[in-house]
Chain A
């Protein structure tokens, strides 16, 4: 008779549970994608991904049928438990075991960083007219009833917004905003471009959109202290997978027969 602890680990580390979770996550993602046309990307994320349980779909089948599902957060949590338990139960202390741990722990870290960023990341947008300066970051759509804003400790001034076209067409080659960051008495010039953001004081500013024929620019402003977590875990996971597959398929086979 196994102890309760061994039994629990056995269940959590079950291979069937692993495969079930992977397939369930794929099905949930598919179901959520189908809903995006109807209720939009943000609502889908809120309802099916950032939740532990949810009812699917938003428009009930035949007017009354809704299926209760585990949401993305539950799947993520279960996956972390499954990975940790499997590691505890199966991993041997050898080179292969090391790479196995590297891959799976960094996948767990990737999922965990989703949870962490959910609570620590701040994202908003700044609308700046040419020649003016602002320190207001909108955290929701300005037309919303409860329009939330945030004040930066410094001001951003738009000097000029530019659209660069491919010669002989109306296809944009680049958008850029020449800005100045006013921090107390000092004023520093920067250029925010597509694929080339500007970081200052823990915040990063990205070119997002423009209005009024280019007289006004829209920047998105992001503060994300856990930014490095997914970058790191993805890199380690890739290196580990590469090592695992390489040793598996390209190792020298011992002489047969």
Chain B
């Protein structure tokens, strides 16, 4: 019986963990094959955005997320489509998108201004009300002004994306625009040369086209130069720089290779607008080969891998698996006898799949960025949850179901939090100069995050012990309990060691790079608070001056201290480390703090006499 259930959960784990494969078949069956194959070929072509080479799917998802908050969109028939399909169609058939509600605002006034029924509004409405948004920037209502600013930023990203793959004039195609322009320059040049040879004034008519196009291109270039990090650059130059389609047209001595890449992009756009999928795929194949010749095979393969990573979406998968593991383990805790054991085994299997999925995601990001696993708030959340889950997994056999549940809860919560962080750093951006050092990033940040995961795991474990005591009325079994306290104590020692090492390495980094060991910056204070709090809990336990219950309460409250150090100080927005300023997070932060505080207080309420034994 137990074996049967274990088999079923292995199958289910494989199904969710690798459902990418199954989903691929389903999607292929649902969409016309040519259409499907086309957009998966086109999604992985490398481009450059904000200084990083990435597949079109990543660049498009970033731009779409800036405008609409999501990395996919719903087409006119209500079907969800990928960001790469969006960007190609937007370049090829812009009219199709005029009336789709792709832009998002959280401000009710802007929603009303746009005539939207909910949070989403259309490009048509945006164009009509553009002036009103600019006017809104000067509003005294700071919230409204900020909402206008973010709406305009979204509109900007959108308009850059709409001409990213091929610059074209209205009523023309990118290919025709490029051909006309190159012809016009040739005509003008020939005219200037022959005029000089024949000693006459050059004819205005023959220069007019080149000059008027040049004027427009220069204006576009000026506009683009103002927002270098929002552009999608498609043409690689020999020196490692990249050009947008408009700036490639303007480049004086464009090389044949660069011109070919520019024109191939333009051709694919034309193919799509004339629904010629076969030709588009053929051109995409040629373009891929040209890219390989230009930026190297390694960079092209990396972009393709990143595209695979985008499709596979290991973090969403991991979250589902963690949730399943947690629920099964909870069932195991509530059930008795044989059923309890079976459920625990199934939970363990799901947990293993979840962990594998998250591990793959973290390593994939490290490969893509060529960086240590933690580079910003987003990745710190994912990494810390991962660390806690690994600790839970390792101690699962010794510590029992509670350790698994705490690990699954930490892993799942981290992924849920990361997936719901709006507009923040999942774009794997380049590191600014201060942080551009893999050695120090690894030494300081990764170590400190390992410390945080120990604190959180101990905190979740203590909370669960307190809750399971309160909810299931399970008396503290003597023998089990002793082991439990020993494990939780060991976890705290682990986290003290790592938070101390990580924080002090930060001090050494700062002293080495800026000449100050400690600056009382909010983030440094937060890290210090964790060390002090964990130190207090360890001393209190070792020196026997608190009861087991108070010790549990201290562990549970450790979560509040760690959450403050990690997120709370970011919300203050002061100092050096305020890297991921979050304005909307206060509410969730407060909920977490209140819940954890209540749990800690619950531990301090003395139990009824008969339950103590």
Contacts and interface: CB of A to CB of B under 8 A. Distances in A.
Interface of A: 15-16, 18-19, 22-23, 25-26, 29-30, 32-33, 36-37, 41, 44-45, 49, 114, 117, 123, 164-175, 194-197, 204, 206, 208, 220, 222, 224, 227, 230-231, 234, 237-238, 241-242, 245, 248-249
B356 interface: no
A206 B228 contact: no
A173 B433 contact: yes
Contacts of A175: 433
A16 B550 CA distance: 14
B478 to A, nearest CB: 16
Contacts of B429: 171
23 contacts: A16-B545, A19-B540, A22-B532, A26-B528, A26-B533, A41-B575, A45-B520, A123-B516, A166-B50, A166-B52, A168-B48, A169-B430, A171-B429, A172-B432, A173-B436, A174-B433, A195-B434, A195-B437, A195-B512, A224-B515, A230-B511, A238-B500, A241-B496
Contacts of A41: 519-522, 574-575
A169 B539 contact: no
B574 A36 contact: yes
A64 B95 CA distance: 65
Given A26-B533, A45-B520, 20 more contacts: A15-B539, A15-B543, A15-B544, A37-B573, A165-B51, A167-B240, A167-B241, A169-B52, A169-B430, A170-B229, A171-B430, A197-B513, A222-B516, A227-B511, A238-B497, A238-B500, A238-B501, A238-B504, A245-B493, A249-B490
A100 B143 CA distance: 55
A84 to B, nearest CB: 16
Q: Which of B501, B525, B533, B564 is most buried by chain A, counting CB atoms within 10 A of its CB?
A: B525
A231 B522 CA distance: 22
Contacts of B507: 230, 234
Nearest to A223: B515
Interface in B515-537: 515-522, 525-526, 528-529, 532-533, 535-536
Q: Which of B52, B433, B522, B573 is most buried by chain A, counting CB atoms within 10 A of its CB?
A: B433
B188 interface: no
- Chain A to chain B: the 3 pairs with minimum beta-carbon distance, closest first: A166-B51, A169-B51, A222-B515
B539 A22 contact: yes
Contacts of A172: 432-433
A171 B525 contact: no
Contacts of A114: 518
Contacts of B48: 167-168
A22 B535 contact: yes
A241 B436 CA distance: 30
A168 B433 contact: no
Contacts of B539: 15, 18-19, 22
A168 B561 contact: no
Given A15-B543, A195-B513, A169 B532 contact: no
Contact of B493 (A22, A45, A170, A248): A248
B232 to A, nearest CB: 10
Given A169-B430, A195-B513, A237 B228 contact: no
Q: Which of A23, A195, A206 is most buried by chain B, counting CB atoms within 10 A of its CB?
A: A195
A114 B507 CA distance: 12
B181 interface: no
A49 B516 CA distance: 16
A15 B561 CA distance: 23
A28 to B, nearest CB: 9
Contacts of B514: 206, 208, 220
A33 B526 contact: yes
A107 to B, nearest CB: 9
Contacts of A18: 539, 543
A159 B573 CA distance: 36
Contacts of B50: 166, 168-169, 171
Contact of A29 (B240, B515, B532): B532
Given A29-B532, A33-B522, A175-B433, A195 B500 contact: no
Nearest to B523: A33
B233 interface: yes
B511 A22 contact: no
Given A37-B572, A167-B48, A245 B494 contact: yes
Q: Which of B515, B525, B540, B569 is most buried by chain A, counting CB atoms within 10 A of its CB?
A: B515
Contacts of B535: 22
Contacts of B500: 237-238, 241
B159 to A, nearest CB: 19
Contacts of B545: 15-16, 19
Nearest to A22: B536
B360 interface: no
Nearest to A241: B497
Contacts of B233: 168
A49 B564 CA distance: 20
A159 B574 CA distance: 34
A220 B241 contact: no
Contact of B497 (A49, A170, A197, A242): A242
B299 interface: no
A230 B575 contact: no
A32 to B, nearest CB: 7
Nearest to B440: A195
Given A123-B515, A195-B437, A230-B517, A32 B432 contact: no
B511 A194 contact: no
Contact of B242 (A19, A167, A242): A167
B229 to A, nearest CB: 5
Nearest to A208: B514
Given A168-B228, A168-B242, A220 B515 contact: yes
Contact of A206 (B231, B436, B515, B521): B515
Contacts of A231: 508, 511
A48 B211 CA distance: 67
Given A15-B545, A165-B51, A194-B513, A29 B229 contact: no
Q: Which of A165, A166, A238 is most buried by chain B, counting CB atoms within 10 A of its CB?
A: A166
Contact of A25 (B49, B501, B532, B561): B532
A10 B29 CA distance: 80
Contacts of A165: 51
A238 B507 CA distance: 14
A234 B504 contact: yes
A33 B565 CA distance: 10
A125 to B, nearest CB: 11
A36 B490 contact: no
A234 B502 CA distance: 11
Interface in B259-306: none
Given A29-B525, A224-B515, A23 B536 contact: yes
Contacts of B540: 19
Contacts of B564: 30
A185 B57 CA distance: 60
B476 to A, nearest CB: 22
Contacts of A167: 48, 51, 240-242
A211 B525 CA distance: 30
Contacts of B517: 117, 230
Interface in B570-590: 572-575
A95 to B, nearest CB: 17
A208 B434 CA distance: 10
B513 to A, nearest CB: 5
Interface in B168-184: none
Q: Which of A15, A19, A173 is most buried by chain B, counting CB atoms within 10 A of its CB?
A: A19
Q: Which of B49, B242, B440, B500 is most buried by chain A, counting CB atoms within 10 A of its CB?
A: B500
Contacts of B569: 33
